[in-house]
Structure 1
Amino acid sequence: MNTCEQPFSIEFSQWLRRALERGVPMSVRAFAFNLFELTNIDNAKFGVEIVGAGKFDQTDSDWACNEVWEPIDRVLRIPIIFSGDAWDDCLLAIRSLLRTLLEIDDDMTRVLKSREGVGIGFVDGDLHIVWCR
């Protein structure tokens, strides 16, 4: 099934599940979802990537810069129909989706919650903590 035939929330969940199923080293203390603007991509203005950080600090968002892990499929394009045209709408949509997924008790969320925290934000912008111990 391609992107046009399924909601982005399902595509996001499947992308994240694939990333985490391949294993995450114990050196990862937190996960960061980085949002960024794309150029010259049809039907997608923004993208999201997941990385694992070797440190976590709720008071210092630079923890997300300490990358120690990335999945093989690091980046996912976000369709404009989901993200909208504005960066703040995109942030709200992906943050809401991530919060919803974190409420589900399954293998994917257990991996995310097995570490100290999960954050989301635009590259070179503010990092928002979505979940932490």
Structure 2
Amino acid sequence: MPIHPTLADWLEQALQAPLPEAVVGLSFNLSEGAAGDDAGFCIELVGTDRFDANDTDWPCDEIWAPPVREIELPFALTGQGWEACLAAVRAALLQALDTPRFGPRLTHQVEGIGLGFVDGDLDLLWQRAD
């Protein structure tokens, strides 16, 4: 199944330029959209200058964001509830990581990639093997 076009287009735009050398972690942060919007959830991408699989606060050390930091995700991708959104976005990002189009650009220099709701739990999507 192809990656949802909204997510694929945003990732393509976000990864046009190489990440700054100081970025060692990437975090995809989810949040609820404004009430009444057609999109119930938003996603943002930030780069951090540290990564620690044992400290879920590492995404707070943000030093980079792409020019379009955040987008709204359509319900066709996320579903209606936060659990469905998290599962769907996790699956879509894991699929992106597994493609030659996005995987190498996302993992080239970083030590780890996380996903979670802002002020919620953080799941590791990918971590460099030692």
Give the TM-score taking structure 2 as reference length: 0.91
Question: Could you list the runs of 5+ residues in structure 2 that have no partner in the other structure?
Answer: none
Which residue does 1:9 correspond to in 2?
4
Select 2:97's aligned residue among 86, 102, 106.
102
Deviating beyond 4 angstroms after TM superposition, the runs of 4 or more aligned structure 1 residues are none
Matches within 5 A, 1:1-133: 9-106=4-101, 108-114=102-108, 115-133=110-128
Answer yes or no: is the 8 Å Cα contact 2:3–2:95 preserved in 1.
no
2:69 aligned partner, one-letter code: R
The one-letter amino acid paired with 1:61 is: T
Q: Whose helix proportion is higher, 1 or 2?
A: 1
- Further displaced range: 111-120 or 46-55: 111-120
Name the SS of the counterpart of 2:57 in structure 1.
Answer: helix
Rounded to whole Å, the distance in 1 between the matches of 2:74 and 2:3 is 7
State the 1:21 CA deviation: 0.9
- Displacement after TM superposition at 1:9 (Å): 1.1
Q: Percent identity?
A: 39
What is the CA RMSD across the aligned residues, in angstroms?
A: 1.5
- On the 8 A contact 1:8/1:82 being kept in 2, the answer is no
Unaligned runs of 5+ in 1: 1-6
